[in-house]
Structure 1
Amino acid sequence: MGLHENSRMDALLNQLTRANALFLIPILGLGGSCQNGYHVTGLSSPSPFIQRFINSSWYHRYEEPPPPHTVTLIWSVIVSTYAVGGLFGALSIKCVTGLVGIKKGIICNSLVSIVAAAIMFSSKGAESIEMVVIARGLFGFSAGMGMGLHLMYLGEISPQKIRGKVTLTLATFTSFGKLLGRFFGLSEILGREELWNILLIVPTCFSVLQLLGLPFFPEAPRYLLIEKGDQEACKKALQSLWGRGDYKQEIDEMLAEQAAINVVRPKSTLEVLRDRNVRWRLITVVTISSCLLLSGMPAISIFSFDIFLEAGIPAEYIRYITLGLGGAEILAFMFCGFIIEHTGRRVLLWVGLGAMSATLVLITVTLTLKDYVSWFPYTTVGLINLFIIFQCGGPAGTISTLSHEIFIQSDRPAALVISGIIRWLLFCLLSMIFPFLVSALGSYCFVLFACMAMLGSLYTFFLLPETKGKSLLEISEAFKDLTVCRKSFKPDKSVQTKL
């Protein structure tokens, strides 16, 4: 009887210990990618109020109303400054992790978000457009660094068998942040002219939560073993997060990776760019994430109010429609989480991108013919929902897992910095030119997005090897076996001799 009681007690303790990871993942998500999602959509609802704020601040300063094109330009700067900040945040990842580690880096990043919130809150009373721009830049910096650190932490705390599901939570919390941005943007909540500055600082509450909660959790196990060489601390961290066990498979994988790093030291950003053996993996992540970004999803998220207004939807209904879009995103990500370990990464990527391309073509048709068919505006709403389902149920949910899986520890920080730089540059460009692109091309701008999505689908179908169920070193070998235009990506013999 005593043994039976002890066994039950051990099982209960194991369940309670395992729950640590279930607390850590939401804390990471709410303070990490959730904030990026919120800031992307949270600017859509108050956009008319902020543009009126630009008018009033300009008039208060110069005693004359600003020209319309000046308002458009300042609004574009406010939108795109977020991406500029994100670019610098992505650039800082390798430096921060090298100095203080991943966990402390996330804690420091939360402080940046809190400072940005204080500036944004004060901007309205000060009637300062510059303070809005500075706050948006700091929010972007926090998001750029936070997304990279969030992904690294998720990948490093997750056992191999569930790595896809755990890293997918980054995309799920991004989607949840978008939903929160739309929800708080409702006129019944904070979507009123007198509250727009408060609306934009809501996610800082999650930074405070992360700042208070994260110190009670362990450092990333992979970081402890590979960077610090402390195998016992690594094992204790895994047991603290996932329950009792020897975690031999995970530790053996880390030791093999550490052995590879002992032969090839951790690389700088420039060394990764020059390394022929990493180049194909880097090109793959950059190409797929760029095609995904340029397929129009950020533009639809930021300018959803203007897109639906252009489609002919009454303004009083638009905020509720965009709230439905956020719900569709979360459901699609949850579906992706259920199937990613069964279907694999490659299929979800090429099928999802191809379906997105076809949907964007249909959106172009319905927007073009909206004046001739009375029900086409509502068809546009349905197609945009379908586009989001295809995007979040496949490529958007898979790219974070793929980005972590295809780089070993010595290459990962620098590779994430490089891919992050390119993504944030493209996001900045898209945010800046989209209002002018719509003015010049109208609904035909979605044809350009469709072409980019199709390019990503073709690239994935023909060139991406499957990574499901493979160790990081096995994935590296799969990329070395690729041959493109009769050119192999195997290591040079000269390099092998040196090593």
Structure 2
Amino acid sequence: MFSTVIKIIICRYFSGCTVKSSKHTMAGGGVTGALLYAVSAAVLGMLQFGFNTGVINAPRPFIENFISEQYQASPSLVFSIIVSIFAIGGMIGCPFASWMLEKYGRKNALLVNATLGVLGAILMGFSKLADSVEMIIIGRFIIGVNCGFATTASPTYVSEVAPVRLRGAFGTVNQLAVAFGLVGAQILGIDMILGSNEGWPWLLGLAIFPSAIQFVMVIFAPESPRYLLLVARDEERSRAELAKLRGTSEIDDEINDMHVEDRAARQEEKFTIKDLFVIRALRMPLIIGVVMHLSQQLGGINAVLYYSTTIFVGAGLTEENARLSSIGVGSMLFIMALVSIPLMDRLGRRTLQLGGLAGMAVFSVLMTVAFFTYENNTTMSIFAVIFTFMYVAFFGVGPSSIPWMLLSELFGQGARSAAVSVGAFVNWLANFIVGLTFIPMSEALGNYVFLPYTVLLILFFIFTYLKLPETKNRTIEEVTALFKK
């Protein structure tokens, strides 16, 4: 499945592209069977991320009934903890991945992470049988570590095995895998499949399959040639793995390019996280990058991804229709991930981010109007769903992927790793805040629950308009020079 998607992306959006098996050579590096296999194995971790973002949505009433059977505490509060503990795990998984990737290599790191995914899925899947809410919470935390790990490990591995000229195209596959996993979880959560009192443990436990399949696939995948050459210092094995990935023995140019990049990186001054806050030329791009990450989460998108079924029921839909409508949320995200690929380098990061934030703000207001008026006009229930889809669509235009790209484009090699780490931590922290607070906010504000997100989206738009430079077609040196002036 992923191999087919990757072929479509490469050949649709990048001119002069052909696909050959690993038995054929391709000047300059191209798409081979071995490369497609390696990328497919890695992005299963991102599929797991999407699946576990969307899977908790539909079974909320059944899980809350299970909670009420075990505890006297508020079921909605405990459910909020189950949802948000996923992000706490993600905050731990990101730095854990960075350490594992450098210490033990890309393949071993992916294998360890796949094992975590299997463990988390088993705990969640058997929680009802064991009459244990704690197993859901612990399993959800572990699967959060797994997904946070994947958001660091999968893009790293994919960028290192892909040819330089195709890294952008292969990088988009990570976002597509997230959206694909999200849609899959929402489809499986409908009433006639696993969206029932008997089916919800199976639904949560299905997370075992992406991790188990990834574990088996990674065993036979190549190690990153870049890691072998520049970290492990094993040039012979690096050449062997690179030749397998490229389907040719003519790899001297690529090996030499890696050496050149490595020498240049070693000559650059290294900066710590503390330096990012102390040095003025680094502080402003860090603030911009952090605000972009906050705009991705505090604009309310995960309130929709985690709770769209609850939102649609609140807008007047039946439980069954609400679950069916939730499938459209993930589908819209998948479609917009495809649409944004050719737009990214044509319109630029700044334009897409501004357009995305503005669209989200407009449709969050329209969602609020629809939620408030549906009781007097049942047609507004349909518009509430449509406006929610459009809100998600504008998120997919820019805020979905641009914050992850920007920190790499705002910082030179010496400060990039520290900046990306800060951005990932802030992103997961904001994710946790949204997951934990949406239900209490919904109970307190009712149909006005999206207005706080609207206010934040307007503030993020203003900040982006005033502070974010366009990075399209600019070198790292040109971008960093803007902040030194």
TM-score normalised according to structure 1 size: 0.84
User: Residue 125 of structure 2 contacts residue 206 of structure 2 at CA under 8 Å; is this kept in 1?
Assistant: no
| Counterpart amino acid of residue 29 in structure 1 | V
Residue 34 of structure 1 aligns with which residue?
Answer: 47
User: Residue 268 of structure 2 contacts residue 413 of structure 2 at CA under 8 Å; is this kept in 1?
Assistant: no
Residue 51 of structure 1 aligns with which residue?
Answer: 64
> Unpaired runs of 5+ in structure 2?
1-19
Paired with 1:150 and 1:325, the residues of 2 have a C-alpha distance of 24
| Counterpart amino acid of residue 478 in structure 2 | A
Paired with 1:10 and 1:324, the residues of 2 have a C-alpha distance of 36
Q: Secondary structure at the match of 2:192?
A: coil
- Tell whether 2:398 aligns with 1:376: no
Match of residue 19, structure 1, among 28, 33, 43: 33
- Tell whether 2:189 aligns with 1:175: no
User: What is the deviation of 1:207?
Assistant: 0.8
User: Residue 168 of structure 1 contacts residue 398 of structure 1 at CA under 8 Å; is this kept in 2?
Assistant: no
Aligned pairs (5 A) from 1:97-496: 97-229=101-233, 237-244=241-248, 254-264=258-268, 268-274=272-278, 276-407=280-411, 410-468=414-472, 474-475=475-476, 477-482=477-482, 488-489=483-484
Paired with 2:175 and 2:339, the residues of 1 have a C-alpha distance of 12
| Counterpart amino acid of residue 334 in structure 1 | L
Deviates more, 1:178-187 or 1:155-164: 155-164
Paired with 2:456 and 2:107, the residues of 1 have a C-alpha distance of 36
User: What is the deviation of 1:246?
Assistant: 5.6
Aligned length: 463
User: What is the deviation of 1:466?
Assistant: 3.6
Residue 495 of structure 1 aligns with which residue?
Answer: none
Deviates more, 1:203-212 or 1:280-289: 280-289
User: What is the deviation of 1:314?
Assistant: 2.0
User: What is the deviation of 1:311?
Assistant: 0.8
| Counterpart amino acid of residue 57 in structure 2 | S
User: What is the deviation of 1:449?
Assistant: 1.5
Q: Secondary structure at the match of 2:299?
A: coil
Paired with 2:104 and 2:55, the residues of 1 have a C-alpha distance of 31
User: Residue 296 of structure 1 contacts residue 446 of structure 1 at CA under 8 Å; is this kept in 2?
Assistant: yes
Per-residue CA deviations over 1:77-127 (Å, capped at 9, x if unaligned) read: 111111111111123233222311233212111111111122222321221
Q: Secondary structure at the match of 2:126?
A: helix
User: What is the deviation of 1:194?
Assistant: 1.3
Paired with 1:459 and 1:230, the residues of 2 have a C-alpha distance of 46
| Counterpart amino acid of residue 47 in structure 2 | C
User: What is the deviation of 1:144?
Assistant: 0.9
| Counterpart amino acid of residue 371 in structure 1 | E
User: What is the deviation of 1:300?
Assistant: 0.4
User: What is the deviation of 1:233?
Assistant: 5.3
Paired with 1:26 and 1:453, the residues of 2 have a C-alpha distance of 35
User: What is the deviation of 1:441?
Assistant: 1.8
Paired with 2:120 and 2:268, the residues of 1 have a C-alpha distance of 40
Alignment RMSD, CA only?
A: 2.8
| Counterpart amino acid of residue 183 in structure 1 | I
> Unpaired runs of 5+ in structure 1?
1-8, 59-65, 483-487, 491-499
Percent identity, please.
28
- When residues 281 and 211 of structure 1 are mapped into structure 2, their CA distance, relative to the original with a 3 A threshold, is farther
Paired with 2:370 and 2:408, the residues of 1 have a C-alpha distance of 38
